[in-house]
A and B are shown apart, each in its own frame.
Chain A
């Protein structure tokens, strides 16, 4: 998202740039001048933004209790009863409750013979597939059904902010534990705890290669390598040096660029430089993943002194004498979490996700101030956004383009779909370019329209909408109750009922006339429902 956020920068000519700026400026101005949202619209807005869209009856319920009361409850997830969802998750996705070693033992059992038989190999492959489907299934299931709606919305934010990819090396065995103990455990707590938890988790250590980052070769070691180069006989010590891989800056860079300060601070005064990245990589040498083999006894964080660079370092003006070992890294990461630029960057991302692709600077400033004042108390920061005037301003109502994940989950919720299998939904997300836990890029998936408003991807949304309505998405079914509630005999009544069930403004929204026309004279209920789900209006939230 970092790299796509500035759609206007770079190649776009100045006139367009100016017109876009003006357009957004008008949007921001409307925020103060627009008519306030009605209670019904306010309820709809909080459900769209903080719940992946309403399910049947939700808007009326939230309107009746008042949107503020609903939001206050959601900001304290433990206050919201959620037994049914928790029970389902435990029963159907057991790996979510396991330690990493338990997952490894259960889903990667040792072969019974050497070499293994074809059947044994096949069994292990099936277990691996089942494991990755459990995590994906749990994410989709909770996004659709958990009563703690806002917890799910923020989990999606943090999964992208602290992205790891199930497809890399062993991450598939570690990602469920990562989801539970890094994302979910800390997302209503302190940012610095979450940051440190991510830094020490084997999934992140492996995904961004800090696990293989080792102190660089000294000049003397380099000379030795050159001296023995091409010779048949090399002393064992030289061969060992030759295998040493040296620094890997991958995590050190992303820690500052993506997780904390933001790329806008690269090579800026008060920001970070390439030198800081290299020095930080040296500071974090030795932060590695323990595994259930070799010298360690299980999966977990291991500080390996033997590969730690003990020279002195200086990162962002902080000095480390080289004798601090692991504590130096912890000290620096805590400092990064408290950095004012981190507060700004994370606040900007929150506002972009929850409010508007281009949020007003005043809001971001205010949220960043709360971030700093509360030492990154995330629940307080969310609260500052959700109870700001800007969040409820008319200019931000239906101003976001749904990501594929938001679109798919909103479709399932709006129709009250029964989701009992998750492969079909994950496949639909894959085709739209947003499969769960499969983002290769450490930026995570973007949440702005610029990244997703692509003709090819829209075709897949339409395909999903029609398939869901026809009962052709494996594992997902719109219940009979939804169809029974539709008046099928009178075309105009059927269309009205679909609009009221699926669209924010019902038949009153701008653009309804167009949909009404497109549904034709004799709409067939399944087809018509699919068209409404795939319509331009349903892509907004």
Chain B
């Protein structure tokens, strides 16, 4: 049964209230407690490939002659001949990976990695901005939902015992999937963090100062002040945001600087490599990290995207090497960790006049981790003939991204999206794929 928007707001609303109420009473088990003694919940790492990453360059149907016909300059050669580095990495007699994905192919063969073909949003938009918003808020076409899907999940399941580091993004501004009411931490670059300590007193993080503040306000009721002036509430919000930042950063630094830590794998010397290295460190420290999200920009390859070499190759190589190092670094902890990649849409099946591809429709997702039923392709593949393409030009969407989100939330956290009316106007198929081990 379809859910109306009104029902959606009502039901999620009352649930969130309930969860928050329970948390305040301390009635729930504390996961990922600050002392790090309990193993805590699994960790989900979401990697967003911004710009519309090309599915046919990543998951290549090399067994289909049409692929070579419609992509005369950007198709990757078949896996035959002298130079394996320049060829498709065959995974069966039809599909293979881009040659830059050697690391991911190894994980695939170990059963730790699964690609999903023809996945994405059923909304027809080919606008980056709308498509990203719709996916990151898991609400295609519903612009009144402005909170990220990860933030909604965190908020609906929050407890009084939540770790300060339950949701972290190692970049200066939160990805949209993490924006919302739940206080997720966007980690500032290291050199800026020292400023936080200097402002503890000003933002009420220092007991003596907090007392002084209470005295200064003459013991009057804060909310009454807010009503009277119409803006003291604004001041409180500024102070709260500052205080949250200081507390969470303090905890993060405590965790990250507590020992002579060395990662157990060599990451690429890239921004992305550094972000995954920090996430691994936080996971291994058992600091209660449940959700991490990262943006990787620059996948809008309208021109000169390259075949075996070039810009797609460089970026995908970075992803593949980073994720392989991350898996190695985590060791046995990978059994409690999932990395999920996504992009707002795919690209035109046919290459354009500039050895690139334009905004398309169906895309792809990659899932990596111990809980993933890896080693096989997921999703429905319907070929490349014009008749089977969306509007005669793009890959179709056969797997709604919300089904993948639902399956992961259910598989990792036992969170049944539909019980909570998680997706507005949509009932997810939580077990559509069987992607997560049960």
Binding site for B on A (CB under 8 A): 2-7, 9-15, 17, 23, 26-28, 30-31, 34, 212, 217, 222, 225-226, 229-230, 242-243, 245-246, 248-250, 253-254, 263, 266, 274, 394-395, 397-399, 401, 431-433, 440-443, 449, 453-460, 462-463, 465-466, 510-511, 513-515, 517-518, 527, 530-531, 534-537, 539-540
Contacts and interface: CB of A to CB of B under 8 A. Distances in A.
Given A222-B392, A458-B245, 18 more contacts: A5-B146, A6-B144, A11-B147, A13-B12, A13-B13, A13-B14, A27-B230, A31-B230, A246-B393, A394-B229, A401-B238, A455-B186, A455-B248, A462-B192, A514-B209, A517-B201, A534-B199, A536-B203
B186 A242 contact: no
Contacts of B244: 455
B188 interface: yes
Interface string B206-248: 1011001100100000000111111111110111011011101
Interface stretch (B54-62, B101-109, B173-181): B173-181
Nearest to B242: A458
Contact of A510 (B173, B188, B209, B235): B235
A250 B126 contact: yes
A440 B152 CA distance: 25
A462 B191 CA distance: 12
Instruction: With a 10 A CB-CB cut-off, give which of B172, B174, B185, B225 has the most chain A CB atoms.
Output: B172
28 contacts: A3-B143, A11-B16, A13-B13, A17-B13, A27-B230, A30-B230, A226-B386, A229-B386, A230-B66, A243-B352, A245-B358, A246-B393, A248-B126, A254-B127, A401-B234, A442-B129, A455-B249, A456-B174, A458-B238, A460-B172, A463-B194, A463-B195, A511-B216, A511-B235, A514-B216, A515-B202, A534-B199, A536-B202
A517 B339 CA distance: 46
A514 B13 contact: no
Contacts of A397: 231
A2 B127 contact: no
A174 B433 CA distance: 48
B133 interface: yes
A510 B229 CA distance: 11
A453 B133 CA distance: 20
B29 interface: no
Contact of B12 (A11, A442, A459, A460): A11
Nearest to A27: B230
Nearest to B194: A463
B216 A433 contact: no
A456 B199 contact: no
A458 to B, nearest CB: 5
Contacts of A455: 183, 185-186, 241-242, 244-246, 248-249
Q: B interface, how many residues as a size bin?
A: 35 or more
B234 A13 contact: no
Contacts of A433: 172-173
B110 interface: no
B180 A11 contact: yes
Interface string B95-116: 0000000000000000000000
A531 B198 contact: yes
B17 interface: yes
Contacts of B201: 517-518
A7 B233 contact: no
B187 interface: yes
Contacts of B409: none
Nearest to B385: A229
A234 B209 CA distance: 78
Contacts of A222: 386, 392
B172 A518 contact: no
Instruction: With a 10 A CB-CB cut-off, give which of A3, A10, A230 has the most chain B CB atoms.
Output: A10
Contacts of B227: 23, 26, 30
A10 B192 contact: no
A540 B66 contact: no
Given A6-B144, A463-B192, A536-B235, A454 B216 contact: no
